Amino acid sequence: MKTLLAFLRQTMLATCAALVPALAGATAYDARLPAEIHTAPRLCDYAPCAEVFPGANDFSERKGRPWYVEAYGERDGRRELLGYVMLSTDITDIPAYSGKPIVTLIGMDKDGRFVGVKILQHSEPILLLGIPESAMVRFNEQYLGKFIGDNIEIGRSRRDENVIGLDAVSGATVTVVAQNQVMMRSGGAVARQVGILDPTVREQARFVERGHAPDWATLVREGSVRRLTVRPDQVGLPRGPEPFIDLWFGYLNQPDVGRAVLGDLSYRNLMNQLGAGEHALFIIRSGGEESFKGSGFVRGGLYDRVQVRQGMDVFTFRDLDYRNLWGVHAAGAPAFDESAIFIVRSESFSAAYPWKLVFLGNRVDRATGHRSFANFDTEYWMPAEYLDGGRPKIVKPDAPWVRIWKMRAVEIALFAGLLVGVATVYAHRDRLTRASTQKNKWPVNAFKYAAWTISIGFVGFYLLAQPSITQVLTWFHALLFQWQWELFLTDPFIFLFWIFIIVTVFLWGRGLFCGWLCPFGSLSEMLYKIGGAIGLKRFQFKLSKPMHDRVKWVKYWVFGILLGTSMFSMGYAEVLAEVEPFKTTFLVGLLNRAWPYTLFAAGLLGLSIFIERPFCKYLCPLGAALAMPSTFRWFGLKRKQECDTCKACAVGCGSLAIDRDGRIDQRECLLCLDCMVLYTDAHACPPLAQERKRRVKAGLELTPIGADGYFIPIKPVAAASGAKAH
Amino acid sequence: MVDPRMPTDPVAPPFAGRGTFAWLAAEAWHHLWPFSREGFARHRIVQAAGIALAASTMVAWFLAGTGRLEAVAIIAWWFGWSVFEVIVRLGAKPWVKEGPWWGRRYRRAHLMDMLCYVGFKNLLIGATLFLALKSAGLLVP
């Protein structure tokens, strides 16, 4: 099985690999980096450090925790420290849109200003072909000269809030938001280590001594002792019954907790050794064989497996910060085989505020064997009853996606209003179709054309919110590797659009999205209508029904191939997804792409003048993906028994979705509502027109048309009973 | 005479007229078990292959549960099973539901109807199992 899979994977990759360079040129997309770049002491032997630090010609080994490299140059013949170079994945593993981190090399001078940024490797699908990597390079250039201590965000600058805004990359919002987090967190971590940024000043905790000695279970329940467990599969190892490492930890300065864990004598001894602004915490390992102290620890060095983080401050431990922990006094404590007391020597640390114990590990990619940095943490916050005045109130800054939603609140509200409005109008379609006739469809068309216009201009060209099959594949990818709601919430328009699509596909089928709100579909049909209106009607044509019934399957094959390819390589599936002209039309622009893409998109749009929605009917993989669940939509369009022989609707169906038996193919129907207008038009629907003529001829009343599409029957039964009553 | 109000000819499965709870139970069984007694009898070869494939699928899930199979292989197995289920159902239970899922209207399934039904149903079942395995830490990407 695995051999077969490996063969298929290799075949697929080889085929696509032959195609991609020709299309995309050399890029950092899934670039092969030397394994040593993540571990070797001399980072700059493997990474182009000089490119991100102009003027530097000598670089130190990796130092500090998290790691960074010192960059040196020569001035007046003397070697001089110019700044620092850092590899983002040494510091943070924040994933981007693909679910994988963007490996970035960053240069920062001694004053904390960025001097160079280079993306070494990424897995962002949108940067593979949709948006040129040069756009990302230009985005990164915005950091040059900016100070790491500034409040840098994606979006417009807000001077009153001291926010420096960066221009996003259209169509890659999620990617650049993640990249901004990577830049600021990496730069900030190094800047704090080397003293460019001052540590945060926090008010020290004042403890309440309750005079009791809780047992271990109580300590755990109240949160005075916390647990940090890492499973083998979290670091890329085969799953097993034993954890990779299982740690318990807690803060010891609080008298009740300290005495409970250490016993009275040991607690007093420890406190006597601590100076002002010094804090003790303990760690024990109750499971796993991995050492939290590290097997490579040497005297005078750093403990490189554990650290404490509070806000943006990182506290690491040297040998002088270590004390032996011989035993745990609290009754019921688990057995342990490794233990330590570590001392945080900084007044910026405060036990009154939450902090995290971080275990620093490596994740092994089982496919390639490459190691990448990964950290695992558990938050600790001293229980309120041990703090004088309780826990301080903390206002956490908004998450990036929350800031985006707030920043674009008006546009989001307008967009949500559009979606709700269109759904509401469609839910009342019966009123519109009854108000319309075969000769005058404006009650329906006014809404539909308005939806198209807004969709093309506002949704497509302004918001760039064109749903795409690539999003479906990306979700699939995220489900496999790392699902993060934040990533999807970062693009609010696409997020809302997909909620709308999922709901309406189940209610009415794909037609409401495809036929009314898809920006490209709307543009395509709008061109067809305009073509007809300006005198090109005689050149407009449909495929014959038999031909259409053959060609319509192409889009399902396209979808199937894309889905199959995505099983082996998401990246190459993204390449094949270029069959969608959406990026070219809306995200990048017809004139901003290589000519084959422009020709393809322009060709489809040109063809749309003469054939109604050729892409939607025959090629669109997203349409195919949505058509499949449309088979089970809850509420379809109405038909009459006479439709089996009558061809009136079928002749006028632009989607060619009505077969010779008068049945509607719900997978192909784009809900234009033309057949529903006919359904209640007593002058155009043949069975209705026949009945109308019969009644007129017989001098009978023309009753309203019922929900079944027929005149409400006349039942003259009241006269007899009325006579009896008299 | 063709009924154009249904995309294909209406069908009444054996359980269509049962009481609410019996009908719901039969519906659940219908979704989970693609074989039928009549279909079994008609397709001996398919039956044997089906049992083999079902067994191998269970092995695949078991291997995944013990952390010995990559996620992508699970997906491949599930895909293979789905293809097979389409073939079996076309012979054994060749109908799909029409209209609201809480309704009792059924119709004859063409190949594409069955592809859509099995694909969509197994996507939901597979995703649920996949997420359950993953959240339990039993699946390694």
B117: nearest CB among A240, A631, A636 = A631
> Which residue of chain B comes nearest to A708, CA vs CA?
B5
Give the pLDDT band (50/70/90) at residue A95: confident
Q: Identify whether residues A675 and A695 lie together within a single domain.
A: no
Question: Cα distance from B89 to chain A (closest Cα, Å)?
Answer: 17
Token reading at A572 = 């190459």
Question: Position A113: which residue type?
Answer: R
Give the mean pLDDT of A160-182.
81
Q: Do B99 and A638 touch (CB under 8 A)?
A: no
> Which residue of chain B comes nearest to A481, CA vs CA?
B141
- Euclidean distance between CA atoms A124 and A571, whole angstroms: 8
Per CB-CB distance under 8 Å, the chain B contacts of A236 are: 140
- Whether the pLDDT of residue A232 is over 60: the answer is yes
Q: Identify whether residues A670 and A693 lie together within a single domain.
A: no
Which three-class secondary structure state does DSSP give residue A122? strand
Q: Is residue A96 part of a domain?
A: yes
Give the mean pLDDT of A695-702.
90
- Give me Rg for the CA atoms of chain A: 33
Q: Identify whether residues A638 and A717 lie together within a single domain.
A: no
Question: Position B136: which residue type?
Answer: A
Q: Quick one: pLDDT at residue B80?
A: 81
Top pLDDT among A156 and A673 is at: A673
Integer angstrom CA distances of residue B52 from A61, B46, B81: 58, 10, 10
A639: nearest CB among B5, B70, B100 = B5
Q: Are residues A87 and A66 in contact, defined by beta-carbon separation less than 8 angstroms? A: no
Average pLDDT, chain A: 87
Decide if A363 touches B, using CB distance below 8 A: no
Decide if B136 touches A, using CB distance below 8 A: no
Give the pLDDT band (50/70/90) at residue A536: very high
- Residues 94 through 123 of chain B touching chain A, CB cutoff 8 Å: 96-97, 99-101, 112-113, 115-117, 119-120
Give the mean pLDDT of A652-667.
94
Q: Identify whether residues A534 and A632 lie together within a single domain.
A: yes
Least confident of B67-71, B73-77, B78-82: B67-71
What percent of chain A lies above the pLDDT cut of 90?
59
> Cα A609 to the chain's mean position, in Å?
36
Decide if A666 touches B, using CB distance below 8 A: yes
Per CB-CB distance under 8 Å, the chain B contacts of A481 are: 141
- Whether the pLDDT of residue A595 is over 50: the answer is yes
Give the pLDDT band (50/70/90) at residue A459: very high
3-state helix, strand, coil in chain B (%, to 5): 60, 5, 30
Top pLDDT among A170 and A665 is at: A665
Contacting residues for A666 by C-beta, under 8 A, at least 6 apart: A509, A630, A631, A633, A636, A657, B7
Size of interface A-B (CB pairs under 8 A): 90
Q: Which of A140-144, A374-378, A716-720, B90-94 has the highest mean pLDDT?
A: A140-144
Q: Is residue A594 part of a domain?
A: no
- Whether the pLDDT of residue A179 is over 50: the answer is yes
The 10s digit of each residue's pLDDT in A368-417 is 556 666 788 999 999 999 999 899 988 877 887 898 898 899 999 999 99
Q: Identify whether residues A368 and A429 lie together within a single domain.
A: no
Q: Is residue A597 part of a domain?
A: no
Q: Identify whether residues A172 and A280 lie together within a single domain.
A: no
Q: Quick one: pLDDT at residue B140?
A: 53
Give the pLDDT band (50/70/90) at residue A20: very low
Q: Which of A16-25, A191-200, A230-239, A256-265 has the highest mean pLDDT?
A: A256-265
Q: Quick one: pLDDT at residue A299?
A: 59
- Whether the pLDDT of residue A716 is over 80: the answer is no
Q: Identify whether residues A375 and A240 lie together within a single domain.
A: yes
Inter-axis angle of helices A442-454 and A519-531, nearest 10: 130
Element housing A17 (H / E) = helix A2-24
Top pLDDT among A116 and B44 is at: A116
- Residues 615 through 644 of chain A touching chain B, CB cutoff 8 Å: 628-629, 631-632, 634-636, 638-641, 643-644
Q: Is residue A391 part of a domain?
A: no
Q: Quick one: pLDDT at residue A367?
A: 54
Sheet holding A69-75, edge to edge: A58-59, A69-75, A78-87, A103-109, A114-121
Report the residue of A631, A635, A667 to disrupt the B interface, i.e. the one with the largest count of B CBs within 10 Å.
A631
Q: Quick one: pLDDT at residue A19?
A: 43
The 10s digit of each residue's pLDDT in A197-225 is 887 788 899 999 988 889 999 999 999 99
Q: Quick one: pLDDT at residue A482?
A: 62
Helix and strand tally (H, E) in chain A? 29, 16
Decide if A2 touches B, using CB distance below 8 A: yes
Q: Please spell the DSSP secondary structure of A139-167, one letter per residue.
A: HHHTTTT-BTTSEEEES--BGGGTEEEEP
Q: Which domain holds residue A545?
A: 408-560+606-679
Q: Identify whether residues A41 and A184 lie together within a single domain.
A: yes
Q: Identify whether residues A668 and A693 lie together within a single domain.
A: no
Q: Quick one: pLDDT at residue A369?
A: 58
Q: Identify whether residues A322 and A372 lie together within a single domain.
A: yes
Q: Is the dihedral of CA B66, B71, B77, B79 positive or negative?
A: positive
B75: nearest CB among A567, A632, A662 = A567
Q: How many CA atoms lie within 13 A of A221 on its CB side?
A: 6
Q: Quick one: pLDDT at residue B68?
A: 59
Q: Identify whether residues A252 and A326 lie together within a single domain.
A: yes
Per DSSP, what are the bridge partners of residue A315? A308
- Euclidean distance between CA atoms B107 and B96, whole angstroms: 6
- Residues 211 through 270 of chain A touching chain B, CB cutoff 8 Å: 231, 233-234, 236, 238-240
Q: Identify whether residues A673 and A695 lie together within a single domain.
A: no
Q: Is residue A575 part of a domain?
A: no
- Whether the pLDDT of residue A8 is over 60: the answer is no
Q: Is residue A154 part of a domain?
A: yes
Give the mean pLDDT of B54-68.
68
Contacting residues for B136 by C-beta, under 8 A, at least 6 apart: none
- Whether the pLDDT of residue A713 is over 90: the answer is no
Q: Is residue A294 part of a domain?
A: yes
- Whether the pLDDT of residue A24 is over 50: the answer is no
What's the total number of domains in chain A? Answer: 4
Q: Quick one: pLDDT at residue B63?
A: 65
ipTM above 0.90, yes or no: no
The 10s digit of each residue's pLDDT in A475-505 is 766 766 666 787 788 889 999 999 999 999 9
Decide if A549 touches B, using CB distance below 8 A: no
Q: Are residues A308 and A315 in contact, defined by beta-carbon separation less than 8 angstroms? A: yes
Q: Are residues A262 and A281 in contact, defined by beta-carbon separation less than 8 angstroms? A: no
- Counting other chains too, the contacts that A17-24 makes at CB distance below 8 Å and 24 or more residues apart are A19/A572, A19/A575, A20/A128, A20/A572, A20/A575, A23/A129, A23/A575, A23/A578, A23/A594, A24/A128, A24/A129, A24/A575
Inter-axis angle of helices A400-407 and A173-193, nearest 10: 130
Contacting residues for A245 by C-beta, under 8 A, at least 6 apart: A228, A229, A230, A285, A287, A288, A290, A292, A359
Q: Is residue A577 part of a domain?
A: no
Residue with token string 């198209």: A452
Q: Please spell the DSSP secondary structure of A450-519, one letter per residue.
A: HHHHHIIIIIIIIT-----HHHHHHHHHHHHS---HHHHHTSHHHHHHHHHHHHHHHHH-THIIIIII-H
Decide if B38 touches A, using CB distance below 8 A: no
Question: Position A413: which residue type?
Answer: A
Average pLDDT, chain B: 82
- Euclidean distance between CA atoms A337 and A524, whole angstroms: 69
